Amino acid sequence: MNWGFLEKILSGVNKYSTSIGRIWLSVVFLFRILVYVAAAEQVWKDEQNDFVCNTLQPGCKNACFDHFFPISQIRLWALQLIMVSTPSLMVALHVGYREHREAKHKRKFYKDKGSIDGGLFCTYVISLIFKTGFEVGFLLAFYYLYNGFGVPILMRCTQEPCPNTVDCYIARAMEKKIFLYIMGCTSILCIALNFSELLYIIWKQLWRHFSRRYVPVEQQILKNSQLHVSLLSLNGIYTSQSQSIEKREHPPSAVNNYQQRR
């Protein structure tokens, strides 16, 4: 599977994320995609052929494998990576809509097209909720489908068409167990990061709202004093202009000549 396309998209989302969101992206790249590509794919490369049972009964081996692994662990892991990364594209699409809107109307509607406010705030919150939901859902799926995150070396199978209880062996069981634990730990870490980022942007939005609505007393007093000073200066300018106009209309020489004639 080629992960380059997903990596480029998530790198583009990085510039619209918060600091916690950038940490989440680093975790996804380093501990999930790179581990998956570099090692996990090789461990699960030929898992069905590496699944060995002590019987030659036709169809027994396949029936036991399908019973123990209804969905391939590595494919479920890949599906998880895709699903938890997809909601981040909602943010990039929303920012792209803002850019298209400004280009279409040739006007600037936003101070910063990537700032998390207004409709983009709702989109960001929804993406975090979806990412957290996918993480929790896939963790539960792994746990209930495979009876936990452990991978036993020996499994006993009684499925048809096996003639009796058959012993089946899983190759590289310890390696698979380690990778599944890594997957589980990184999923829990991503859930914690998503929850922390959700609280952070909600707190930041509330702080911004209250700081705009409720101006501190010191700032209000300062604004009132500045307004009073500006009004006094305007009053002084108006008075000086009025006096200059009166002098122009009634010059002193004309008043003195009128008094001498009387």
Closest by Cα among 52, 40, 41, 6 to 155: 52
**Between 133 and 100, whose confidence is greater?**
133
Please state which of the ranges 3-12, 26-35, 62-71, 178-187 shows the lowest mean pLDDT: 3-12
CB contact at 8 A, 72 and 30: no
DSSP-derived pairing of the beta strands 154-157 and 52-53: unpaired
Question: What's the pLDDT at 42?
Answer: 79
CA distance linking residue 24 with residue 31, whole number of Å = 10
Question: What's the pLDDT at 188?
Answer: 92
HSE (side-chain half, CA atoms, 13 Å) at 194: 24
CB contact at 8 A, 11 and 88: no
Question: What's the pLDDT at 255?
Answer: 44
Distance between first and last Cα of the chain: 111
**Between 103 and 230, whose confidence is greater?**
103
Average pLDDT in the chain: 75
At 167 the three-state DSSP class reads strand
pTM above 0.75, yes or no: no
The string of DSSP letters for 43-58 reads HTTTHHHH-EES---T
Model confidence at 182, pLDDT cuts 50, 70, 90, reads confident
**Between 126 and 30, whose confidence is greater?**
126
Percent of the chain with pLDDT over 70: 68
Please state which of the ranges 98-107, 169-178, 217-226 shows the lowest mean pLDDT: 217-226
Domain 3-49+70-157+167-214 belongs to what topology?
de novo design (two linked rop proteins) (1.20.1440)
Whether the bond between 163 and the residue before it is cis, its omega within 30 degrees of 0, is no
- Taking residues 25-42, what's their average pLDDT? 78
Question: What's the pLDDT at 47?
Answer: 82
Residue 229: pLDDT over 60: no
Question: What's the pLDDT at 136?
Answer: 94
Question: What's the pLDDT at 11?
Answer: 60
Closest by Cα among 12, 24, 11, 13 to 132: 24
CB contact at 8 A, 205 and 124: no
pLDDT in tens, 116-173: 666 778 888 898 999 999 999 999 998 888 888 888 888 898 888 888 889 999 888 8
**Residue spans per domain, the chain:** 3-49+70-157+167-214
The CA dihedral of 26, 31, 36, 38, to the nearest 10 degrees, is: 90
